[in-house]
Amino acid sequence: MPLQVYNSYSRKKEVFESITPGHVGMYVCGPTVSGESHLGHARPYVTFDIVYRFLTYKGYKVRYVRNITDAGHFEEEGREAEDKVSKKALLEKLEPMELVQKYTNLYHWAMRRFNNIDPTIEPTATGHIVEQINMIQKIIADGYAYVVNGSVYFDVKKYAATHDYGKLSGRVIDELLETTRELEGQEEKRDRADFALWKSAAPEHIMRWTSPWGEGFPGWHIECSAMATKYLGAEFDIHGGGMDLQFPHHESEIAQSTICNHKAPVRYWMHNNMITINGKKMGKSYNNVIKLTELFSGDHPLLTQAFHPMTIRFFILQSHYRSTLDFSSEALTASEKAFKRLWDAYETLKQLNFAGNTSSGEGFDAELDAKINTWLNEFEEFVDDDFSTPKVLANMFEMAPIINSLKDGLLPSTAIAAATLQLMKDKFKVFLEDIFGLQAISGADNEALKGVMQLLIDIRKEAKTKKDFATSDKIRNQLAELGILLKDEKGGEMSWSIE
């Protein structure tokens, strides 16, 4: 069954065919690194990580480009206003690249904890100023942009006369032209619908580059067009991002790239839906974000506990990427338990071994065996169907009781064929680990381990008090074999560390 993806541009599912056989070019809008990533940001990166992993599984060589937006109107809360006064020494002032570095590092840390595979290219906007300027010049040369006071604007009205501006986001151009909203700097534009390709920088603006039009900085949309064109070509396969980027960001990207490269840039537009909290979109402007660091530490009034990145990944996979996903501590707790049960069953499955089983032997359950094969074969079918990860998980949960029953002998070990068991092991591994990118929750930062260690310490203390050195030594020696060092301290206290 071929892969089908929902194309936001056509508003329907389409069979996926790459432009270059065997290769896929995919661009995903990355973070603006002027602040800390929150739960809402996690969704696209997990979603498109699955897309990347699945395409790779399908045999494609994927060039996955995900940008870092590190240029623009940058400020850090509480610092910007002060810096505008600008009488401080250099080292006291906000250094934009310092800010960008800090949040880029934090973002990368979070991505690794989610077990997201790094994109093959992660370009920065500031590293592609030249490409952006070149692109703007081409657009001006073609007559679709104009310069005013050192800024450059895209002429949407002219573009719309011959192109379908608004198709991706379902806008009607006439309505856009009539928008009554009053915004700063709008008077320079010929038309309200026009958008900036390059902005002249006011004296206090902290990020600025020299351009043919004076000192300034690039408009928000041009970076993606420039970098996607550079690394993926004038036309590429998949462009992903959050639904909230459809307009104006992606709409503008289409317009710029189309004028510059003389063809529509993207074959398949994919948009993930929002994560909501109490039914409302999680977003900075709504003041309802939960940062990833808060989620991992549990340090937030709405959280009853800390949540492991794998729990969050699993939580995201339990819903379809085009549906909103409502966050609550309760929902995450449910996901945590569910994930643990599923993963335990998977670990159990790996230990099972019924090598001699045949489909004609004593105790063989043909119906069960067939059902399992059906469930397993549906894995790929479901992901093929626009990445229906929740259905795959549902099938896995159908098999969890079977796995556990086989282990406990509640089902005869001869009930399923050896080949079926092997297929189960293979499919679970491929889908759970390789495609879904899930992994075991473990490590020394685990509260459970700390509890276990305290328990052992208590037992050892008691044993020592009773001069039961056989027991106390056993505990210490066996832990040492596991790489855990137990240390006696003055006053009878004990501490431990992992070597």
Partner RNA sequence: GGUCCUUUGGCCGAGUGGCUAGGCACAGCUCUGCAAAAGCUUCUACAGCGGUUCGAAUCCGCUAGGGACCUCCA
* Binding residues among 317-356 for RNA as defined by CB under 7 A: 318-320, 323-326, 328, 330-331, 333-335, 337-338, 341, 344-345
Give the residue, chosen from 97, 130, 366, 410, that forms a contact with RNA under the rule CB under 7 A. 410
Which of 230, 253, 199 minimizes the C-alpha distance to 8?
253
Give the x-and-dash track for 266-305 against RNA (CB under 7 A).
------xxxxx--xxxxxxxx-------------------
Looking at the DSSP assignment, which residues form a beta bridge with residue 45? none
Least distance in angstroms from the C-beta of 309 to RNA: 16
401 binds RNA (CB under 7 A): yes
Segment contacting RNA by CB under 7 A, of 92-100, 178-186, 225-233, 262-270: 178-186
Residue range at the interface with RNA (CB under 7 A); choices 16-24, 105-113, 177-185, 293-301: 177-185
Residue 157 CA to residue 176 CA, distance in Å, equals: 10
Q: Please say which residue, 177 or 430, places its beta carbon nearer to RNA.
A: 177
* Interactions with RNA, residue window 49-88 (CB under 7 A): 69
CA distance 366 to 57: 30
For residues 194 and 486, which CB has a smaller minimum distance to RNA in the complex?
A: 194
- Residue 40: which residues within 8 A CB-CB, separation 6 or more? 242, 274, 275, 281, 282, 283, 289
Show contacts with RNA in window 105-144 (CB under 7 A).
Answer: none
Cα 491–chain centre separation: 49
Query: Which of 105, 405, 439, 454 is close enough to bind RNA by CB under 7 A?
Result: 405
Q: How far is the CB of 2 from RNA (least distance, A)?
A: 16
CB-nearer residue toward RNA: 42 or 486: 42
Distance in angstroms (rounded) separating the CA atoms of residues 384 and 401: 26
Q: Which stretch binds RNA (CB under 7 A): 19-27, 392-400, 449-457, 486-494?
A: 392-400
Residue 408 or 481: which CB sits closer to RNA?
408
Taking residues 190 to 229 in sequence order and writing x for each that binds RNA by CB under 7 A, - otherwise, the string is -----x------------------------x---------
Work out how close the CB of 175 gets to RNA at its nearest, in angstroms, rounded to a whole number: 5
Question: In the structure encoding, which two tokens stand for residue 58, read together?
Answer: 């399908």
- Separation CA 59–CA 61 (nearest Å): 7
Q: Give, as ranges, the residues between 9 and 38 that touch RNA (CB under 7 A).
A: 29, 31-32
181 vs 490, beta carbon nearer RNA: 181
x/- contact string, 224-253, with RNA (CB under 7 A)? -----------------xxxxxxxxx----
Query: Would you say how long the chain is, in residues?
Result: 499
Element (H, E) at 146: strand 145-148
Instruction: Rank residues 324 and 359 by Cβ distance to RNA and give the closer one.
Output: 324
Contact 99, 79 (CB under 8 A): no
* Long-range own/partner contacts, residues 325-330 (CB < 8 A, 24 or more apart): 325/43, 325/273, 325/274, 325/275, 325/276, 326/275, 326/276, 326/277, 326/278, 326/279, 327/39, 327/275, 327/276, 327/277, 327/282, 327/290, 328/277, 328/278, 328/302, 329/302, 329/303, 329/304, 329/305
- Residue 423 CB: number of other CB atoms within 10 A? 16
Find the binder of RNA among 19, 148, 172, 370 (CB under 7 A): 172
Using alpha carbons only, what angle is made at residue 129 by residues 126 and 133, rounded to the nearest 5 degrees? 160
Cα separation, 416 vs 361, in Å, equals 9
When the beta carbons of 94 and 331 are compared against RNA, the nearer one is 331
